[in-house]
């Protein structure tokens, strides 16, 4: 544990002590240091609100002044249990009738034979492995930041606890600097900039988590798509288009329906069928069952193909009663699979790489929605690669290099790479173990070539195969998964895909799912924050703004405007009656990369005064020079 973590952990104990002095019934669960501070989870009758912070902080100050010593004590399991039973553990004194329930549970979770220890500061004794600072006097530069709720052990079937967050630093200056930094970070929040720069809009009447791309944001997105499309052409991809819905049977085959029902928009039922079931007086439960069900033939075929019972007897129904419908597509794979399967394929054709900016819809929980980063409808820069088993490693590598090109071009270097592996004892993962091993190995090896540290995370795989994810942090430190590359041995079996090998026999292809941006929405959200709204010229919705000094140069300004426009640049003209200072200020606030100041001086010389939003006044230049430089800057996608 680092020094700052040790300090913050001690602050969590000081906070607990303060809470107990005010509300003695509090039962504490778990209180670790975290990236920017610490928290403690607890349960008590009083509900803490931000109005209570002052009172709690005052008590914490007092405890810090008392300069209590943090003392380590090794105790036996029996003693620990006895102390928890009496309410002494995680309390200021024994609390008859109020046993330390969470501490009791935590003690049970400590493996047999491991040393159990507690720490005492003043009257507060807590089950804790430490370490801690020497004295509470160190815990003086501390501030409570927020209160929320959490589930005990992160399990939503366990009791809901209150979680109080705080932060602490060695010095007061560092503490203050932290909050200044936080304020600065908020200014680059994509939700705020999205409004200020008119990039996107979310409208209640359209629906939560559904993005309306306004003209400025549409430019940003379109430029990114063009960039990706160019790279895809270089790498031998084929562009396809598919509809936004597909029949339920498609998703029953893929295995997504009904198992992921909670995260899909409900099925769309055909009008005739809807009328029929309404006529029959069919209830909701009955309707759901009939939607979920399949015919015996369907189940048998799929079970036979996969070699296991993926569809149980309970889902089989008389074909007469089956209810058909459509699903708003939650992913693009089945559609692409159908394109691959639409014609015979030879091993000579492989790999087949099908790409689409495919829009998908997922029913995310309302509390999870967040600006552009977590939405209910989004467009993936998706592609599916169908290849032979021998080609998997090379194709994964190709996908990774694409992700790397993308991130490098945008100057995004602060990301981490996660290799998601299967969790041995989870039934969530399908397919055979040897293929999993092979695929996991290919991912691991490919990730190693990135030259970026990566972590292997068991249980993070997709149900059909392992994956490599690129994860980036937003301004407030939350992590978002962007690019992803996933190897899949399962869907080709479920859809019975095949190609003809050199031996003139059918073979099963392997699929790779990949999206370098992940989703256009999320990526743009992260990108807005990355650039703090100051996009490089090639991405800027408005690249150049012409600012006139007086009406006398209107004709000259029109001429320059027309020239830049003809050159394909996104240019606007501000010939309002404002003073030049105001025009510059407005252009700066709109984060327009180039401002061209035109007055009588420029008109006489036939030049333009160039000002850059970040580099300031660049002096007078000839229009030809300026045009050449900016077009090159845009063409080369300079940062």
Partner RNA sequence: GCCGAAGUAGCUCAGAGGUAGAGCAGCGCAUUCGUAAUGCGCGGGUCGCGGGUUCAAUUCCCGCCUUCGGCUCCA
Q: How far is the CB of 51 from RNA (least distance, A)?
A: 8
Query: Is 201 in the active site?
Result: no
- Comparing CB distances to RNA, the nearer of 373 and 391 is 373
Alpha carbon distance 86, 496 (integer Å): 63
Alpha-carbon distance 620 to 608, whole Å? 5
Burial of 297 (C-beta count, 10 Å sphere; 0-12/13-18/19+): exposed
Q: Which two tokens stand for residue 241?
A: 């288009």
Catalytic residue among 128, 139, 333, 387: 333
Three-state DSSP at 371 gives: coil
Q: How far apart are CA 256 and CA 245, in angstroms?
A: 14
Rounded CA separation 176/143 (Å): 10
Contacts 24+ apart (CB under 8 A), 239-244: 239/355, 239/356, 240/336, 240/339, 240/354, 240/355, 240/356, 241/356, 242/329, 242/332, 242/335, 242/336, 242/339, 242/356, 242/358, 243/329, 243/335, 244/328, 244/329, 244/359, 244/361
Does residue 419 touch RNA according to CB under 7 A? no
Q: Pattern of binders to RNA over 11-50, x per CB under 7 A?
A: ------------------------------------x-xx
Beta bridge partners of 471: 416, 481
338 is catalytic: no
What is the token pair recorded at 24? 């003695």
Annotation says 382 is catalytic: yes
Please identify, using beta-carbon distances, which residue of 150 and 301 lies nearer to RNA: 150
Question: Is 3 among the catalytic positions?
Answer: no
Task: Report residue 61 as tokens.
Answer: 């100050």
115: which DSSP letter?
P
Q: Is 206 in the site for RNA (CB under 7 A)?
A: no
What is the size of the binding site for RNA (CB under 7 A)? 70
Place of tokens 């107990």: 20
Within 10 angstroms of residue 49's Cβ, the number of other Cβ atoms is: 8
Q: Which residue's CB is nearer to RNA, number 34 or number 339?
A: 34
Residue selected from 264, 359, 380, 519 as contacting RNA according to rule CB under 7 A: 264
Is 128 an interacting residue with respect to RNA (CB under 7 A)?
Answer: no
Q: Which of 256, 335, 514, 570 binds RNA (CB under 7 A)?
A: 256
Helices marked H in 348-432: 392-409
Task: Look up 333 and say whether it is catalytic.
Answer: yes
How many whole angstroms separate alpha carbon 54 and alpha carbon 38?
17
- Which residue in 530, 611, 630, 634 binds RNA (CB under 7 A)? 611
Pick one of 33, 91, 166, 209: the residue that binds RNA (CB under 7 A).
209
Residue 367 interacts with RNA (CB under 7 A)? yes
Distance CA 71, CA 121 (A): 7
- Minimum distance, C-beta of residue 278 to RNA, in the bound complex (Å): 25
Read out DSSP for 576-636?
-SS-HHHHHHHHHHTT-SEEEEE-HHHHHHTEEEEEETTTEEEEEEEHHHHHHHHHHHHHT
- Quote the tokens at residue 366: 């309302």
CB of 208 to RNA, least distance (A): 4
- Per the annotation, the verdict on 590 as an active-site residue is no
Q: How far is CA 467 from the centre of its chain?
A: 15
Task: Establish if 154 lies at the interface with RNA (CB under 7 A).
Answer: yes
Residue 135 makes contact with RNA by CB under 7 A: no
**Catalytic-role residue among 27, 68, 380, 543:** 380
Residues 614-633 that bind RNA (CB under 7 A): 616-617
Shortest Å distance, C-beta 346 to RNA? 28
Residue-by-residue DSSP string for 257-323:
TTTTGGGSPPPEEPHHHHHHHHHHT--HHHHHHHHH-B-HHHHHHHHHHHTS-SS-GGGB--GGG--
Among 98, 214, 235, 263, contact with RNA (rule: CB under 7 A)? 263
Q: Which is nearer to RNA, 57 or 66 (CB)?
A: 57
Q: Is 160 in the site for RNA (CB under 7 A)?
A: yes
Give the x-and-dash track for 456-475 against RNA (CB under 7 A).
Answer: ------xxx-----------
Assess contact for 359 and 326: CB atoms under 8 A.
no
Give the SS3 label for residue 503.
Answer: coil
Of 9, 163, 376, 467, the active-site residue reads: 467
Ranges within 229-248 binding RNA (CB under 7 A): none
Nearest to RNA of 89, 584 (CB atom): 584
Q: Among 151, 244, 416, 633, which residue sits at the site for RNA (rule: CB under 7 A)?
A: 151
Instruction: Determine the interface stretch with RNA among 69-77, 256-264, 535-543, 629-637 (rule: CB under 7 A).
Output: 256-264
Q: Answer yes or no: 418 catalytic.
A: no
Binding mask 68-107 vs RNA (x if CB under 7 A, - otherwise)? Answer: ----------------------------------------
Residues in the site for RNA, rule: CB under 7 A?
A: 47, 49-50, 146-151, 154-156, 160, 162-163, 191, 195, 202, 204, 208-209, 256, 260, 263-264, 330-331, 362-371, 374, 462-464, 476, 478, 481, 486, 549-552, 577-582, 584-585, 588-589, 595, 597, 599-602, 609, 611, 613, 616-617
Residues marked active site are found at 333, 362, 380, 382, 384, 467, 513
């Amino acid at each position: 544990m680092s020094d700052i973590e040790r300090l913050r952990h001690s602050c969590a104990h000081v906070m607990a002590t303060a809470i107990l002095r005010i509300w003695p019934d509090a039962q504490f669960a778990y209180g670790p240091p975290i990236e920017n501070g610490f928290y403690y989870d607890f349960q008590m009758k009083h509900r803490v609100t931000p109005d209570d912070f002052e009172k709690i902080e005052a008590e914490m100050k007092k405890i810090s002044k008392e300069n209590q010593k943090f003392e380590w004590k090794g105790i036996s399991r029996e003693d620990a249990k006895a102390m928890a039973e009496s309410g002494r553990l995680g309390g200021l004194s024994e609390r008859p009738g109020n046993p330390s329930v969470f501490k009791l549970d935590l003690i049970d979770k400590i493996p047999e034979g491991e040393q159990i220890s507690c720490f005492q500061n003043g009257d507060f004794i807590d089950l804790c492995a430490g370490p801690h600072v020497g004295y509470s006097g160190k815990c003086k530069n501390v501030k409570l930041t927020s209160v929320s709720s959490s589930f005990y052990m992160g399990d939503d079937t366990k009791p809901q606890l209150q979680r109080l967050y705080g932060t602490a630093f060695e010095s007061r200056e560092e503490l203050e600097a932290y909050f200044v930094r936080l304020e600065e970070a908020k200014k680059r929040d994509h939700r705020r900039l999205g409004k200020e720069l008119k990039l996107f809009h979310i409208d209640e009447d359209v629906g939560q988590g559904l993005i309306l791309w306004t003209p400025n944001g549409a430019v940003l997105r379109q430029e990114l798509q063009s960039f990706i499309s160019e790279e895809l052409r270089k790498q031998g991809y084929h562009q396809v288009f598919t509809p936004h819905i597909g029949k339920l049977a498609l998703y029953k085959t893929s295995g997504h329906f009904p198992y992921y029902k909670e995260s899909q928009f409900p099925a769309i039922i055909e009008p005739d069928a809807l009328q029929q079931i309404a006529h029959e007086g069919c209830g909701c439960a009955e309707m759901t069952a009939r939607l979920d069900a399949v015919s015996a033939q369907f189940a048998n075929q799929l079970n036979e193909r996969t070699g296991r019972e993926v569809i149980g007897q309970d889902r089989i129904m008389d074909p007469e009663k089956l209810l058909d419908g459509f699903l708003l597509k939650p992913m693009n794979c089945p559609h692409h699979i159908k394109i691959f399967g639409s014609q015979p394929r030879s091993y000579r054709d492989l790999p087949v790489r099908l790409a689409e900016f495919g829009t998908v819809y997922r029913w995310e929980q309302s509390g999870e929605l967040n600006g552009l980063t977590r939405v209910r409808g989004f467009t993936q820069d998706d592609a599916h690669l169908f290849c032979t088993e021998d080609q998997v490693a090379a194709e994964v590598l190709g996908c990774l290099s694409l992700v790397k090109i993308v991130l490098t071009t945008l100057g995004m270097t602060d990301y981490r790479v996660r290799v998601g592996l299967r969790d041995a004892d989870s039934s969530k993962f399908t397919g055979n173990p040897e293929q999993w091993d092979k695929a996991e190995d290919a991912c691991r090896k490919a990730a190693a070539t990135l030259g970026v540290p990566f972590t292997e995370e068991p249980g993070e795989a997709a149900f059909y195969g392992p994956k490599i994810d690129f994860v980036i942090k937003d301004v407030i430190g939350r992590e978002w998964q962007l690019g992803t590359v996933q190897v899949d041995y399962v869907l080709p079996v479920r859809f019975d895909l095949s190609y003809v090998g050199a031996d003139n026999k059918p073979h099963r292809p392997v699929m790779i799912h990949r999206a370098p941006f992940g989703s256009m929405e999320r990526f743009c959200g992260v990108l807005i924050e990355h650039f703090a709204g100051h996009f490089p010229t090639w991405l800027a919705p408005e690249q150049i703004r012409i600012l006139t000094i007086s009406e006398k140069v209107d004709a000259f300004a029109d001429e320059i405007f027309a020239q830049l426009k003809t050159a394909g640049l996104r240019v606007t003209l501000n010939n309002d009656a404002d003073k030049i200072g105001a025009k510059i200020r407005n252009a700066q606030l709109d984060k327009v990369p180039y401002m061209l100041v035109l007055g009588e001086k420029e008109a006489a010389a036939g030049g333009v005064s160039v000002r850059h939003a970040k580099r300031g006044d660049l002096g007078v230049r000839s229009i030809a020079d300026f045009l050449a430089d900016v077009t090159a800057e845009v063409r080369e996608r300079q940062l």
